[in-house]
Amino acid sequence: MANTEKTLNDLFLHTLKDIYYAEKQILKALPKMAKNAESEELKEAFETHRQETEGQIERLEQVFQILGKAARGVQCEAINGIIDEGKELMEDFAESEALDAGILASAQAVEHYEITRYGSLKTWAQELGMNDAAKLLDQNLQEEKKTDLLLTKLAEARVNTKAA
């Protein structure tokens, strides 16, 4: 079935709903990840990112407002899969020496998903001439990149501690 009437605007709105849903799921998942993590630094990183995520959700609501649309999510199977995989891993590796390594890897999978979504959304907002929306999306993108870098540092610190 050809969808010749669909536009980039439609794709933008659909993807905005997708990441809005994803952020809300992540907001729910982060306290569980903090609770399960063994390292204090990792717990702290998740708590900081939980607070950031609340701000990110607010920015997305501002983007919906710019579009004149109600803030509403659409089920995103990709993020559900990534989060479910993380939960499974936390059960399978509970009390093991590899638990934090697994939690870190799951958290980075989440960040990478968000980075790809925000990258596309920001580019489309620019293409559609919505500069204020592009700025808000870029702020979220930069926070996700910063979190991903922090997680990489924590993962490397884990390895170095082990090697020492």
Contact positions vs Fe ion (CB under 5 A): 56, 114
Q: Judged by CB, which is closer to Fe ion: 58, or 92? A: 58
Q: Judged by CB, which is closer to Fe ion: 18, or 114? A: 114
Query: How far apart, in Å, are the Cα atoms of 113 and each of 7, 33, 35, 69, 131?
Result: 23, 17, 22, 24, 23
CB atoms within 10 A of CB 141: 20
Q: Judged by CB, which is closer to Fe ion: 36, or 147? A: 147
Q: How far is the CB of 76 from Fe ion (least distance, A)?
A: 13
Compute φ and ψ for 55, nearest 5 degrees: -65, -35
For residues 3 and 95, what is the distance between their CA atoms, to the nearest angstrom?
A: 51
Q: How far is the CB of 120 from Fe ion (least distance, A)?
A: 14
Q: How far is the CB of 110 from Fe ion (least distance, A)?
A: 8
